[in-house]
Amino acid sequence: MKKRVLTVDDSRTIRNMLLVTLNNAGFETIQAEDGVEGLEVLEEANPDVIVTDINMPRLDGFGFIEGVRKNDRCRAIPILVLTTESDAEKKNRARQAGATGWIVKPFDPTKLIDAIERVTA
């Protein structure tokens, strides 16, 4: 069965790149534009893994991750943070919020797929 990925990113460019990359790699992709929408579609999407941006309007990545971790049905889903911020402080905050791992931008399809494979069975 195809693995399902939920991506949360406010940038149309990145959303499209994620979509193309993930589809090409044989994933089923569901997309949300910010944390609020991400939480809205979360249960319905029931993804195997989540890829989220940090800087987003309405609800940022930290808030979104916390939201997922508080959801009884979805809190065990691995979450990868997609961010340009490679510095330890941001990583740490993402981790404290409950992120599983991260992918440092610039966006690289291989790195993305690699990281997804690492956190999913």
Partner 1 sequence: MDMNEIKEIFFQECEEQLAELESGLLKLNDGDRDPETVNAVFRAVHSIKGGAGAFGLDDLVSFAHVFETTLDCVRSNRLDPGPEVLKVMLKSADVLADLTNAARDGGGVDEARSRQLIKELEALANGEVLQASAAPEPVAKAAPVVAPVVNDEGFQPVAFSFDDFEADEPALMEMPTYEIVFRPKSDLYAKGNEATLLLRDLSRLGEMNIHCDMDALPTLDRLSPETAYFSWKISLKTDKGEDAIRTVFEFAEWDCDLEVSLVADGAAAPSEELPMQPVPFDLSILDDEPVGPVGVIEEEEQLAAQQQIRDAAVSAAGTASNVLQMAQSAARAPVEKSAGAAASAAAQSAAAQQAAASAATPTIRVDLDRVDRLINLVGELVINQAMLSQSVVENDANGTSSINMGLEELQQLTREIQDSVMAIRAQPVKPVFQRMSRIVREIADMTGKSVRLITEGENTEVDKTVIDKLAEPLTHMIRNAVDHGLETPEKRLAAGKSAEGTVRLTAKHRSGRIVIELADDGAGINREKVRQKAIDNDLIAADANLSDEEIDNLIFHAGFSTADKISDISGRGVGMDVVKRSIQALGGRINISSKPGHGSVFTMSLPLTLAVLDGMVVTVANQTLVVPLTAIVETLQPEAAAIHSFGSNQRLISIRNSFCPLVDVGRILNFRASQANPVEGVALLVESEGGGQRALMVDAIQGQRQVVIKSLEANYTHVPGIAAATILGDGRVALILDVDTIVAASRGQSLKPEMSLAAAG
Q: Is 73 in the site for partner 1 (CB under 8 A)?
A: yes
Does a cis peptide bond (omega within 30 degrees of 0) precede residue 106?
yes
Which two tokens mark 100?
Answer: 């599983």
Q: How far is the CB of 47 from partner 1 (least distance, A)?
A: 11
Backbone angles phi, psi at 32, to 5 degrees: -130, 155
Q: How far is the CB of 56 from partner 1 (least distance, A)?
A: 7
Sites of contact with partner 1 (CB under 8 A): 10-14, 16-17, 19-20, 35-36, 39, 55-59, 63, 66-67, 69-73, 75-79, 84, 92, 95, 98-102, 105-107, 118-121
